[in-house]
Amino acid sequence: MSALRWATAFAPASSGNVAIGFDILGFAVDALGDRVTVSRSERPGVTISAVSGIAGELPTDPAQNTAGRALLALYEALAPEFGFEMRIEKGIPLGSGLGGSAASAVGAVVAANALLKSPCEKPELLKFAMQGEAVASGSMHVDNIAPSLYGGLVLTVGIEQPRVKRIPVPSAIRAVIIHPHMFLATRQARAILKREVPLADFVWQTANLAGFISGCYTDDLDMIRASFEDVVIEPQRQALIPGFAAVRAAAIGAGALGCSISGAGPTLFAWALETQAGEVLEAMRAPLLAAGTQVDEWIVDLRGSEGARVVASG
């Protein structure tokens, strides 16, 4: 039996879709994340005692909260002999497109798992965390949950029995991420999407996803560059993000392999060679600053990324 009374987990931010893998591909952004502390409680069920950090107003009713819903899913499935009391410290801005709701859900189940007599493996934790994501966005997509839990660039196939595959990223590549200080609700960015995809766009998108993944496996930077284009989702969403076209053009002009929307936005990301990442970042920042938009920015190496983990316990 785990003797731990409490555990704190760090769960990283993430960037979903990666242009061509809508709802199924994402990468962890370890530079920021949420910290969730779960303690044993004599009170059965799940309670949320505090939400702090850059949280804004988040519900503390567990059924309405992404981390609460994920932890309830774990509690209901495993019926531990104690309840869970949870404190959430948000390090990821809400409505940023950086997987904030996913990170809270992942952090909750990873912290609670450390208290269990028979801890679960990651595939089971993934399924609990997915229940939480559904509260935030209204759909059970996995492209933020999986990279936050596993780290790195992650492809997930399936919802009922998700299969997770960590994709190798060529060592020369860095992810450049720029977060304009705007709020965009994932629900809204999903609601505007058309339900049908023209056949020609389907063909391009499939080719690009296959090209991108094969390029990652074979260190083929030219293939990654050629296939780094979302012809389905980005054209529909870009109007929601002021300055998107200018930022993308600037990134490509500075040598980026590609540039697109991080998750549902408004954060934007590019992949660039390590030697050009600084220039790409400067180029992406310029049109936003010129328009008076404040930004946060990061350059991330995806290879050492570990995913969510317990960082303190007692």
Which residues make up the interface to ligand HSE (CB under 6 A)? 16-17, 22-23, 99, 137, 141, 143-144, 186, 189-190, 263-264
Closer to ligand HSE by CB, 240 or 310: give it: 240
Q: Compute the least distance from the CB of residue 231 to ligand HSE, in Å.
A: 15
Rounded to the nearest whole angstrom, what is the least distance from the CB of residue 39 to ligand HSE in the complex? Answer: 29
Q: Residue of minimal CB distance from ligand HSE?
A: 263
Please calculate the CA angle 69-70-76 and round it to the nearest 5 degrees: 85
Rounded to an integer, what distance in angstroms lies between the CA atom of residue 167 and that of residue 311?
25
- For the bound state, the minimum distance from the C-beta of residue 218 to ligand HSE, rounded and expressed in Å, comes to 26
By C-beta, is 8 or 148 nearer to ligand HSE? 148
| Cis peptide, bond prior to residue 266, ω within 30 of zero | yes
Between residues 29 and 254, which has the closer beta carbon with respect to ligand HSE?
A: 29
What is d(CA 314, CA 38) in angstroms, rounded to the nearest whole number? 11
Question: 10 Å Cβ neighbour count for 80?
Answer: 15
> CB of residue 130 vs ligand HSE: minimum separation in angstroms?
12
Complex with ligand HSE: residue 25 or 86, whichever CB lies closer: 25
Measure the CA–CA gap between 60 and 117, rounded to whole angstroms.
27
Are the C-beta atoms of residues 58 and 96 closer than 8 Å to each other? no
Least Å from the CB of residue 61 to ligand HSE? 22
**Considering the complex, what minimum distance in angstroms separates the CB of residue 144 from ligand HSE?**
5
Buried b (16+ CB within 10 A) or exposed e, 283-310: bbbebbeeeebebebbbbebeebebbeb
Nearer to ligand HSE, 22 or 212 (CB): 22
Three-class SS of residue 241? coil
Q: Looking at the DSSP assignment, which residues form a beta bridge with residue 144? A: none
Taking Cα atoms as reference points, which of 140, 175, 157 lies closest to residue 267? 175
Rounded distance between C-alpha atoms, residue 42 and residue 85, angstroms:
9
By C-beta, is 24 or 46 nearer to ligand HSE?
A: 24
Closer to ligand HSE by Cβ: residue 115 or 184: 184
Q: What is the DSSP letter of 238?
A: G
| Residue at token pair 């994932």 | 186
